[in-house]
Amino acid sequence: MVGKKMDRRQLLKRITLLAASGVVVAGMPWGAHAAIKPAVETEMSEEEYARYLEKIHNFNRAHSDDLYLSQADFNLLITSVDRFKRLQNLVGHANFYLLSFDDALRLSRSYTSVGSFSKYEIEFLEKIFYSSASTYGFFGEKPLKNLTDRIQRRRVTKVPHTGNFLYKGKPEETYKAIQDAVGEKVILTSGVRSVIKQFLLFLDKALRANGNLSLASRSLAPPGYSFHGVGDFDVGQVGYGERNFTEDFVQTPVFKRLNELGYIRLRYPRDNNLGVRFEPWHVKVPGV
Ligand SMILES: [Zn+2]
């Protein structure tokens, strides 16, 4: 059990860092700019580990130490989500998957049906993007480092009948191999997502959770932290609907077949130390 112990130690180190930096200042609730003191590396107690697991198992519930947006930021969250949704209506769902931050700002200025992002909204979005997500409990890597990172159209391909895109190369090859092996029952449920698409998903979740960033990040990676931005994708079983995004997916013939064939390399396995729920539908593409 050495591996498990090391995971816990790493996790605790991160949590200790978080505690050291988590100075709560009005209007800056997650203490992003507070000085980080050196962490004291100690073993996580059984009790602490049990509490951590409790949170990721009950990811959709609020927990006592969850971090919330301030009221001022929550108001900016509401108007930003509305604007993102109007933008999505303007460009269509498929184009929205690829939309860059700069394009979003430009289009919002050009179309009165969307309306310009205000200075305060832009500052709020920058703060969300550049704050360390570990301060509210998400410990994954950040493959997209810049708010303005864009997805190049020539590097992606549209997947027929899904409304989604995949990166050319290994992600597209992996999906084709999965289709060949599993047949017509498997479907791509989510592919490439730009920073903007991830913003809408994450902020909309936070909105429905009354500004609880911790709760949102247990089931949706914050913008910049999603591997959908660099090649990972989600699969499901045709006709299984929303249950494709629940633990029930492991009961489907599609999941079982994928697992037998060795295609299930998960980014967020059960009881991971990233602060994220179990996501059996999320395929970790080799080399991504
Ligand atoms: Zn996913």
Encode pLDDT of 128-161 as tens digits: 999 999 999 999 999 999 999 999 999 999 999 9
- 75 Cα–ligand 1 center, Å: 28
Is 100 contained in some domain?
yes
- 192 Cα–ligand 1 center, Å: 10
Domain count, the chain: 1
Predicted confidence at residue 18, as pLDDT, reads: 52
CB atoms within 10 A of CB 23: 12
Q: How far apart are CA 1 and CA 90, in angstroms?
A: 53
Is 273 contained in some domain?
yes
- 43 Cα–ligand 1 center, Å: 31
- 197 Cα–ligand 1 center, Å: 13
Is 288 contained in some domain?
no
pLDDT tens-digit profile, the chain (288 residues): 334 444 555 555 555 555 444 433 333 344 333 333 334 445 678 999 999 999 999 999 999 999 999 999 999 999 999 999 999 999 999 999 999 999 999 999 999 999 999 999 999 999 999 999 999 999 999 999 999 999 999 999 999 999 999 999 999 999 999 999 999 999 999 999 999 999 999 999 999 999 999 999 999 999 999 999 999 999 999 999 999 999 999 999 999 999 998 888 899 999 999 999 999 999 999 888
43-78 burial code (b ≥16 CB/10 A, e <16) = ebeeeebeebeebbeebeeeeeebbbbbeebbebbe
Give the residue from 283, 249, 244 showing the smallest Cα distance to 265.
283
Find the CATH number of the domain harbouring 158. 3.30.1380.10
- Mean pLDDT, all residues of the chain: 88
Global pTM reads 0.86
- 28 Cα–ligand 1 center, Å: 29
Task: Collect residues with CB below 5 Å from ion ligand 1.
Answer: 234, 282
Is 203 contained in some domain?
yes
- 233 Cα–ligand 1 center, Å: 5
Is 159 contained in some domain?
yes
Is 93 contained in some domain?
yes
Is 260 contained in some domain?
yes
Is 75 contained in some domain?
yes
Predicted confidence at residue 195, as pLDDT, reads: 98
Q: How far apart are CA 201 and CA 140, in angstroms?
A: 17
- 25 Cα–ligand 1 center, Å: 33
Q: At 156, list the tokens.
A: 């992606």
Give the residue from 286, 238, 287 showing the smallest Cα distance to 264.
286
What residues make up the domain containing 195?
2-283
Predicted confidence at residue 28, as pLDDT, reads: 38
